[in-house]
Amino acid sequence: MKRRPTSRTCAALAFCLALTAAARAGGATAAEKPGGEAKPKSPYELFLEKGQVKDFPARPWDQAFVRDSECYRVTTNTSMDVAEYVGVLMDAIHLHYCQLFGVDRTRRAAINVFRTPEEMTGWATKTCRLSLKGGTIGFFTTWGGGTICVVWKKLSGQNPETVLMHEGTHQFVQAVWGTQTLPIWLNEGFAVYFENSRFDGRNLDVARVPPERLARLQGQMKTGKHVALEKLFTTEQKDFSVDHYGAAWAFVFWLAQSGDASRRSVHQQALGTFVGECRRGRKDGRQLVGCLGLTMEQAEKQWQEWVLKLDPKDPYGGLRKDAGQTAPPAPGGGK
């Protein structure tokens, strides 16, 4: 039987790690109250400071800082503070995945945090012979048993934490289901779903909408120029564009959040059945729609109508935070 960590376990571990990191901060400067009195910073404030994006002194990669967390080995040429911050953040996310999908913790994976995009590109070329596209701000490779790479800067409007959570989802999917098991639209749909999460030092807040992706998709839907489900299910990885990412996220979000508890249960069972079919090499998304008891036309219509009602200005799309699930329907256990 696979061990299934409880939410209390996940929260306790994450917070204990945050407290440990804060304690190591030692003589961090305290905030000043009016009147000159020092207000001690909370452990969470100290934890956040470790992950601040800033310019770090040049440091050769062969002299990088290395820190082992519960689930990852973090290597970085930024600072040991960033290494600690990334370890705490990603441990919380990883254990959340374990709880959600009912699997054991996967073996420790690697995370490389680079100071500049050029350093990341150089490492990818030299170490795993990857030729990165221009503008790449992070990636996951199966090299070394699974390695997440990210630049510790805000690039293309994306915070490094967002990139970490996106690529961390790919790492978890690869560790649990294998590299080629899930179709690209489901793999990326999960990744975009989780990249929008927020970590407060205790809990992972998921089920948030990416406002720009949502607004773009809604505009396309209104003019009939969006990536329809039929097209989404048949698009290969090499042809996946920004619009495919938006549609993939929206379909996963629809599966997770639409309808009442009874309907979401149907979605969860259908997704579990579909993942089982994917393991046997059958990855046609139309099979999933059939498991939902819908035709493609019905699924497209229901999905569009629901997405168009979401509010891109609200972090949860206008849905009450506690009205739906806080994560996509879990598609069954591990290997």
Give the single-character DSSP code of 236: -
- Residue 301: pLDDT band (50, 70, 90) is very high
| Residues 170 and 195 grouped into a single domain | no
For residues 136 and 221, membership in a common domain is answered with no
Mean pLDDT of the chain, nearest integer = 85
Q: Which of 134, 162, 178 is the last residue of a domain?
A: 178
Q: By the 8 A CB rule, do 201 and 47 touch?
A: yes
C-beta contacts of 46-50 below 8 A and 24+ residues apart: 46/21, 46/22, 47/18, 47/21, 47/22, 47/85, 47/88, 47/201, 48/201, 49/25, 49/81, 50/21, 50/25, 50/81, 50/82, 50/84, 50/85
Percent with pLDDT over 90 in the chain: 66
Per-residue pLDDT reduced to its tens digit, 231-249: 999 999 999 999 999 999 9
Same domain for 89 and 168: yes
Q: What is the pLDDT of residues 141-159, one digit of tens each?
A: 999 889 999 999 999 889 9
Q: Do 172 and 298 lie in a common domain?
A: no
- Residue 37's pLDDT band, with cuts at 50, 70 and 90, is low
Q: CA-to-CA distance for 193 and 173, rounded, in angstroms?
A: 13
- Whole-structure pTM value: 0.82
How many CA atoms lie less than 13 Å away from 77 in the CB half-sphere?
18
Residue 131 lies in a domain: yes
Judgement on whether residues 55 and 192 belong to the same structural domain of the protein: no
> Residues 49, 85: one domain?
yes
Tell me how far apart the alpha carbons of residues 32 and 34 are, in angstroms, rounded to a whole number: 7
pLDDT at residue 226 is higher than 90: yes
> What confidence score (pLDDT) does residue 324 get?
45
Least Cα distance to 153 among 120, 124, 188, 125 occurs for: 120
Reported as a pLDDT band with limits 50, 70 and 90, residue 16 is very low
- 332, two tokens: 């069954």
Are residue 218 and residue 239 in the same domain, yes or no? yes
Domain, as residue range, for 135: 7-24+42-178
d(CA 46, CA 19): 9
pLDDT higher than threshold 70 for residue 85: yes
Residue 1 lies in a domain: no
> If you ran DSSP here, which 8-state letter would residue 110 be given?
E
Listed residues 178, 203, 223: the one ending a domain: 178
Q: Is the pLDDT of residue 4 over 60?
A: no
Question: Residues with Cβ < 8 Å from 297, sequence gap 6 or more?
Answer: none
CA distances, 333 to each of 5, 37, 72, 100, 101 (Å): 13, 53, 21, 9, 6
Say yes or no: 320 and 185 in one domain: yes
Which CATH number is 155's domain given? 3.40.30.160
Q: Is the pLDDT of residue 327 over 80?
A: no
Q: Rounded CA gap, 165 and 157, in Å?
A: 15
192 and 167 within one domain: no
Domain count, the chain: 2
Last residue of a domain, one of 151, 178, 205: 178
Look-up of token digits 């989404």? 232
Same domain, 220 and 313: yes
What's residue 103's pLDDT? 87
